[in-house]
Structure formats: structure tokens, C-alpha cells
Amino acid sequence: MNEDTPISRQLFSIPNLMGYFRIILIPFIVWRYVTAETITDYYIAAVIIGISGITDFLDGFVARKFHMITKVGKALDPIADKLTQGAIVIALSFRFPAMTALIVLLVVKEGFMGIMGLIMLRRGKMLDGAKWFGKVSTAVLYVVMFLLILVPQIPMKAANGLILLCGALLLFSFISYIPVFWKMAQDS
């Protein structure tokens, strides 16, 4: 299976099924966290996030290893990532007010990425996967979100420090993508 495989077959590839599964997990993560009353409830939310994260790793691994990279998968994977990140950050903002700034930064960065991606797509170009700075920012965001859920009794100062770290890396990633898109625009 590859990008030239008919869309109808691409929809049900194993990596894409894993992407759908990650999207289905989102309401369960949010519900379990927002309604948590005990430490066990928080642990269950963290386990569901862990399953989502493992599935995220596996869908990319399987797609590359077994030559199942598809156009659908290239669109689905980042959509599942962003929906998961956004939902968890919003859920965490109910307990950690500093998350609100992270939400704004995420919306601005992802809005920029989406708009620039569409502009480049209209010009027949496409960003060739996430860059290292985007991957680092995303990985740290997931680790911090996981920790904030797994350790609900974390001191607010420590939580705010972790959120600040995420914000700094997210801002760095956003700023680093600007010249990438600029170069793509100049090459067209």
C-alpha cells in the first residue's frame, strides 16, 4: 500500500485504524480526567493517554516498516495528534490556569501551520513531515500533560514551571517553522 493506493483502501489500513482509535480515545481521556475524584481515576486517565501515545508511535512505525504510508495517514496522524493535545490541554486548564496561555499559543501555532500548509498545498507543495523542533515540542508537551495527570497532587509552582517549559518550546517551534515555510514559498 502506498500513496497511490485508492483512497477507499487507504482508509482502512492498519496505521489509519490506529489513528481513528486515537481520536475515539479523546472523549474517554477528557471524561476520566474531568470527572476524576480519586488518585485511581487520574491514573486511569494517564493510562488512556499512554495507550494513545503508544498507538501514535506504533501507527508511524507500522506505516514505515510495512510500506503503508498513505495520503490519508499523512493527514490523519497530525489531526489525531492536535485533537488529542488540544483536548487534554483544555481539560488540564480547569485545574491549572496557566494552561490557558498554552491553549492560546497552541491555537496560534497550529492555526499558522494549518493556513501555511493549505497555501503550500495549493502551490503543489507539502511540508515533508514534522521537523525536529516540532517533534521535541510535541514530545515534551505529551510528557508534561501525562505528568500533570499522573501526579494530581503536584505543587502548583512545579506545574507552572512545566507549563512554562512547554510554552517556551512551543514558541521556539512556532518561530522555527516560519523560515521553513518562507523557504517553501520562495522555491515556488
Grid coordinates given for 188: 515556488
Note down the domain range covering 110: 7-186
Radius of gyration of the chain (CA): 17
Q: Where does the pLDDT of residue 29 fall: very low under 50, low under 70, confident under 90, or very high at 90 and above?
A: very high
Q: Does residue 112 sit within a domain? A: yes
Question: pLDDT tens for residues 36-55?
Answer: 999 999 999 999 999 998 99
Which has the higher per-residue pLDDT, 26 or 11?
26
Within a domain: residue 161? Answer: yes
Does 157 score more than 90 pLDDT?
yes
Neighbours of 125 (CB within 10 A): 15
Q: Is residue 1 part of a domain?
A: no
- CATH code of the domain in which 102 resides: 1.20.120.1760
- Least confident range from 5-14, 81-90, 104-113: namely 5-14
- Cα end-to-end span (Å), the chain: 30
pLDDT band at 7 (very low <50, low <70, confident <90, very high): confident
2, part of any domain: no
Q: Each residue of 64-101: pLDDT tens digit?
A: 999 898 888 888 998 999 999 999 999 999 999 999 99
Position 182 in a domain? yes
The residue ranking higher by pLDDT, 8 or 60, is: 60
130 alpha-carbon distance from chain centroid: 11
% of the chain residues with pLDDT over 70: 98
Average pLDDT over the chain, rounded to whole? 92
Domain count, the chain: 1
Of residues 57 and 176, the one with the higher pLDDT is: 176
Cell of 27: 472523549
CB 185 within 8 A of CB 120: yes
Confidence of residue 188 (pLDDT cuts 50, 70, 90): low
Separation CA 172–CA 140 (nearest Å) = 13
C-alpha cell at position 71: 495520503
